[in-house]
Amino acid sequence: MSLREKLKSGKFVVTAEIGPAKGVDIHEFNENAELLKDRVDAVNCTDQQSAVMRLGSLVACHLLKQKGIEPVFQMTCRDRNRIALQSDLLSAYVMDVENVLCLTGDYVTLGDHPDAKPVFDLDSVSLLYAARQLEQGKDLAGKELKGTPKFFLGACVTPCADPVEPQLIKMERKVKAGAQFFQTQAIYEPKTFEAFMKQAKKFGVPVLAGIVVLRSAAMAKFMNKNVAGIHVPDELIEEMDKAEDKLQKGIEIAARLINEMKGMCQGTHIMAIGLESKVPAILDAAKL
């Protein structure tokens, strides 16, 4: 069953993500893919995450397909204009990649090429619209296609943003533009997420709660200070601080959050960020 079919059937879905290599050595990527195979329902391939130049997301998706793993092709609008974005969408479909997560993308100054010229010809909403247009047999210039693709389109939302209303407004815009599922920014406050989901329920699309594994109290404090829409409560920071084995505690907290939010949403999206090898341990701890 595809990711689309699993979400339609009501199965609690688990997705994870792998960052492609900074270079052409794909040994670690392949190892992580094998660890995730048969444990998750789909794997996101990040697209130059944090504006750091890496191997391409589409190639990474192709590598996953070769291993029998269902990929989610992350696409950011930062680096390509509408011609290249539409071309890559068509290329994805030809390579049997159906799931596409449409993102605007981090600004170039955050990455390792701060002098790069940002594009942002489209944003996440207009990229969703572009994909929908392609499905209807036309490109953004109104030109007819020879053969049409079919996608399962995803988008991102930040449930713990304060205020949350702009997120709900943008979520609605994304649904109208074509979003069929959502993966969220990291959540550490299940009660805030529950309140968000009560309002988001009206959009009628599946939501996968985002989990980022904490490595230390310092990491939690850094995210609180620097990452918009993420808030790690003081009690979790204290818990991390007191733990002798920080990584084990991070795994424990991730599993606990998944179980607390399981009844509120349609799945979970685990962003291990360099700790992909620990995803099976999180799933074991969460009894998934």
The reported pLDDT for the residue numbered 264 is: 97
Write the single-letter amino acid at 70.
Answer: E
Digitized pLDDT (tens) for each residue of the chain, 288 residues in all: 999 999 999 999 999 999 999 999 999 999 999 999 999 999 999 999 999 999 999 999 999 999 999 999 999 999 999 999 999 999 999 999 999 999 999 999 999 999 999 999 999 999 999 999 999 999 999 999 999 999 999 999 999 999 999 999 999 999 999 999 999 999 999 999 999 999 999 999 999 999 999 999 999 999 999 888 899 999 999 999 999 999 999 999 999 999 999 999 999 999 988 888 899 999 999 998
**Separation of CA 26 from chain center:** 21
**DSSP per residue, 34-60:** HHHTTTSSEEEE-SSGGG---S-HHHH
For residues 227 and 186, give the distance between their C-alpha atoms in angstroms, rounded to a whole number. Answer: 10
**For the chain, counts of helices (H) and of strands (E):** 11, 8
CATH class of 3-214+265-277: alpha beta
Cα–Cα distance list, 288 to 15, 39, 108, 212 (Å): 12, 8, 37, 17
The reported pLDDT for the residue numbered 275 is: 82
Alpha-helical runs (H) found in 95-233: 124-135, 165-177, 190-200, 217-226
The reported pLDDT for the residue numbered 226 is: 87
Peptide bond into 166 cis (omega under 30): no
The residues spanned by each domain of the chain are 3-214+265-277
**DSSP per residue, 149-178:** ---EEEEEE-TT-SS-HHHHHHHHHHHHHT
Residues 6+ away with beta carbon under 8 Å from 252 = 285
The reported pLDDT for the residue numbered 193 is: 97
Write the single-letter amino acid at 187.
Answer: I
**Structural contact between residues 48 and 111, judged by C-beta atoms closer than 8 angstroms:** yes
**Separation of CA 216 from chain center:** 22
The reported pLDDT for the residue numbered 121 is: 98
Cα–Cα distance list, 151 to 21, 73, 81, 98, 282 (Å): 26, 11, 20, 5, 30
The reported pLDDT for the residue numbered 255 is: 97
